[in-house]
């Protein structure tokens, strides 16, 4: 998934605001953002951020991925 913190900053929302928009508590939001969210939660997230679901995911055609631990960019190579 994309960098949610960056998107929240652009939309001037806090994670608490996002959780309220999704109809869940903040602890549940962290579970959604750090785990494997359900399709229902992905739809809620997109709706709360007012973006299409596809905007929540990195472009699969790029060779750059986000590190799931530090958020840094990783160049992906295929051998």
Q: Tens digit of pLDDT for each residue in 14-49? A: 999 999 999 999 999 998 888 778 899 999 999 999
Handedness of CA 16, 20, 24, 29 (dihedral sign): negative
Q: Which residues of 13-22 are buried (b: 16+ CB within 10 A; e: fewer)?
A: beeeebbebb
Read off the pLDDT of each residue in 56-67 and give the average, rounded to a whole number: 69
Contact 74, 65 (CB under 8 A): yes
Read off the pLDDT of each residue in 57-67 and give the average, rounded to a whole number: 68
Looking at per-residue confidence, does 24 or 72 come out higher?
A: 24
Q: Work out the percent of the chain whose per-residue pLDDT is above 70.
A: 86
Q: Work out the percent of the chain whose per-residue pLDDT is above 90.
A: 41
Write down the mean pLDDT value for the chain.
84
Q: Which CATH class is domain 4-75?
A: mainly alpha
């Amino acid at each position: 998934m994309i960098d949610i913190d960056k998107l929240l900053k652009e939309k001037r929302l806090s994670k608490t605001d996002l959780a309220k928009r999704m109809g869940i508590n903040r602890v549940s939001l962290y579970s959604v953002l750090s785990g494997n969210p359900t399709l229902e939660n992905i739809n809620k997230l997109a709706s709360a951020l007012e973006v299409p679901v596809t905007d929540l995911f990195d472009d699969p055609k790029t060779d750059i991925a986000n590190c799931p631990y530090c958020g840094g960019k990783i160049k992906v190579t295929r051998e």
